Structure 1
């Protein structure tokens, strides 16, 4: 893969990742509710989903979803139901914030839950499959071996996703500290 192609891919991917969506909002929420250390489990879940999505596109699932209205609708409604569930749980959380590890009970279980919530939010978003199935082929050279190209694109995308989710979680963590200090938490 040519370096210029990878640089263009990284630039376009950066814009796509940084654009607010469910995963970005979850990174902000995790940063504000749990602090940066715990939010890291969330962006690890988002990055893991990147590899699942890119692998699915590489084996043709993205093309199937793009071609089949039925299967696209199934994935879309499963994703919508999951996001509704996450939203309802967040609304019923009574606004509790956990900024210290001492305040959190069941640390490992909580970390696993944060990871899974982010992973499932990203992997059930049908836009991801369609985005990758339309986006990745533009940067693939069909005459060259495909696996190394997909690996390079996946690693680049995952690294960018990790950095951007870190930034959003940091923004959430800083914002909540500022709001707590000023008494405007409500």
Structure 2
């Protein structure tokens, strides 16, 4: 496979990954919460948690395991249900933090999981994100050549992990910059309520979708 052929495969994958990253969702909310509340280090750990989840999902996709979700629908159902409950849990924590002054003014050991354990929380959000299941289970596989060599599958997987790390690190650096942090902290109470609504809203949308499929 020559360089131009390889680029013709990798570039569209990078483009659709960028489009997916640019779409607001649970991943962004988790990175923002960690970055604004606990600073750049926590934000970058959350970013790497999301990127690690992307790498794991991409390895699942290129290995063909994603087909299992199509053959065994209850697995997909269960994953989405867990994702919905976890998003609602994060939203409830944001509301609780708002009662204590706002999530963006609390110490790291007293606020949300996205601040206390940014890497693990972000990784769990990514692994249970229904958008990730859709992207890696169907959209991404459409761009993977079925007869591609094994080394190409590995390159695709690690490109996704690398691109995810760069994009999410950029988000963490932006939201942990002093002006942005001051803005969030000045409006900590209403922003905490907003994040609670967004997390719970996303969780409810996923839950409604899961119940609709079940019925």
Q: Same fold (TM over 0.5)?
A: yes
Q: 2:162 aligns with which of 159, 168, 176?
A: 159
Asked whether 1:141 is paired with 2:156, we answer no
Q: What does 1:87-106 correspond to in 2, within 5 Å? A: 87-93=91-97, 94=100, 95-97=102-104
Q: What does 1:17-32 correspond to in 2, within 5 Å? A: 17-32=21-36
Give me the whole-angstrom Cα distance separating, in 2, the residues matched to 1:104 and 1:83: 19
Instruction: Give the secondary-structure state (helix, strand or coil) at the position aligned to 2:39.
Output: helix
In the alignment, is the contact (CA less than 8 A) between 1:35 and 1:98 conserved in 2?
no
Equivalent in the alignment of 2:182 = 177
So what's the TM-score if we normalise by structure 1? 0.81
- Alpha-carbon distance change, 142 to 159 in structure 1, aligned in 2, over 3 angstroms: same
Q: 1:15 aligns with which of 2, 16, 19?
A: 19
Equivalent in the alignment of 2:47 = 43
- Runs of 5+ consecutive residues of structure 1 not aligned to the other structure: none
Specify which structure has the bigger relative contact order, considering alpha-carbon pairs within 8 angstroms and separated by 6 or more residues.
Answer: 1
- Alpha-carbon distance change, 80 to 13 in structure 1, aligned in 2, over 3 angstroms: same
Shift of 1:92: 1.3
Equivalent in the alignment of 2:208 = none
Equivalent in the alignment of 2:201 = none
Give me the whole-angstrom Cα distance separating, in 2, the residues matched to 1:89 and 1:111: 11
In the alignment, is the contact (CA less than 8 A) between 2:80 and 2:130 conserved in 1?
yes
Give me the whole-angstrom Cα distance separating, in 1, the residues matched to 2:69 and 2:128: 12
Q: What does 1:63-102 correspond to in 2, within 5 Å? A: 63-93=67-97, 94=100, 95-97=102-104
Give me the whole-angstrom Cα distance separating, in 2, the residues matched to 1:77 and 1:184: 32
So what's the TM-score if we normalise by structure 2? 0.71
- Runs of 5+ consecutive residues of structure 2 not aligned to the other structure: 190-215
The alignment yields a C-alpha RMSD, in angstroms, of 2.7
- Alpha-carbon distance change, 74 to 21 in structure 1, aligned in 2, over 3 angstroms: same
